[in-house]
Amino acid sequence: MSSKALPANLSEETVRTISDERDEPEWLLEARLDALESLESLDLPDVIQTPGRRWTNLEALDFEELVDPLNAADTTERVTAEGVEVLSFTEALDSHEEVVEEAFGSTIAPDTNYLTALSAALFTTGTLIYVPEDVDAEDVKIRAEMNSKSLFSHTLVVTEKSSSVTILEAIESGESDVEGERYFSNLVEIVAGENSYVQYGSLQNLDENTYTYSLKRGDAGVYSTINWIEGNLGSRLTRSDIETELNGDSSETKIVGAFFGHNDQHLDVNARVWHKAEHTTADLVTRGVLDDEARSVYEGVQDVGRDAWDTNSYQRENTLMLSDESEADASPKLIINNHDTEASHAATVGQVDKEDLFYMLSRSIPERTARNMLVEGFFVPVLDEIEVDEFREDLQELISARLD
């Protein structure tokens, strides 16, 4: 695929203005300018292509039309917990510059692809969550509203040795007079220190004029655990990649995803894990429901490196189709370079189980109600993983609302 030209409204001047307005240190400005420069040689994220079918068409996005770099606006509410620093990106640069400098771009290099570089050059919002050694923090919350044509957010989570934290991030569209199509970009980097624990839950419910790109990647240290929970209900098109690199011996990860598409939504959700050290464990669980003309694309990758002795790696993906017009593409991949591995994956696509439905009808539950109950039940394995109660309730509510 050829790289894209630079949008006309994007210049070094734009990037300098963004950086100046935030009074940023020189290293960050340099990083932004490098990212801007690299744009021309970068490609969009990889998309699966089989004979006659391109699973997601990112090329159709017109960034000149979608991106309005100097008018970014968001309202973000941050709820902290005891012992943990939850700071906006600009505040973090003031008080924890070293932490930010070390973590920024350490797991997602800005030149990973065109969209990550665009984010590095243009991001205006984001959060640093810093958990010092031995601190156990619960229920950190970030609730963001997007109020502009385009918004780029970059979030960093750094957990020091033997700390733990549970995080909820929710994003929706605020009330604003922006017309036409919009673009939201969300990058999250987690650096999990030795023996630390992170659960990062994310709920995306943007309006259906918005195109969303989200890349979340964690670097798991020795004995650490990174658990991701991702709910995608909003946006016209969502491209979401959740990835963990198991770099430390005995590190673990769970990537749990739920999506529910309706109308003509397109959901391209991906979960990837790289086993790079010994005794690592991964569990990937994705459950999705499609109604109307919604379409889903799923790629799951379990990559076991040559040095990843004693690996356990599991992956399950289940898609439920409620409508004849919906479409589901799935590709669960195993790439195994070390034989001392126990790996499996399973994927299914189907409808609501007829026998289950019949049983409920025989208990005189109306058909529609019965189906809805079964759909809600279908999401239970995902809901059960969520540790932040508020997140679970929000997700449950959004699911029931969509079923009515």
The contact set with other proteins (CB under 8 A) reads 48, 50-51, 53, 306, 319, 321-324, 326-351
Concatenated DSSP letters for 51-118? TTEES--GGG--HHHH--GGG--EEEEEE--TT-EEEEHHHHHHH-HHHHHHHTTTSS-GGGSHHHHH
CB of 347 to other proteins, least distance (A): 4
Contact 44, 59 (CB under 8 A): yes
Nearer Cβ to other proteins, position 9 or 344? 344
Nearer Cβ to other proteins, position 53 or 363? 53
Q: Taking Cα atoms as reference points, which of 198, 194, 100 lies closest to residue 140? A: 198
CB of 290 to other proteins, least distance (A): 8
Nearer Cβ to other proteins, position 35 or 277? 277
160, two tokens = 């020091």
CB of 266 to other proteins, least distance (A): 14
CB of 325 to other proteins, least distance (A): 8
CA gap 277, 289 in Å, rounded: 35
CB of 344 to other proteins, least distance (A): 4
- How many helices and strands (H and E) does the chain possess? 10, 20
CB of 180 to other proteins, least distance (A): 30
How many beta carbons lie within 10 A of that of residue 196, not counting itself?
Answer: 29
Cβ-proximal residues to 214 (8 Å cutoff; 6+ apart), any chain: 185, 186, 187, 188, 202, 204, 238, 239, 240, 241
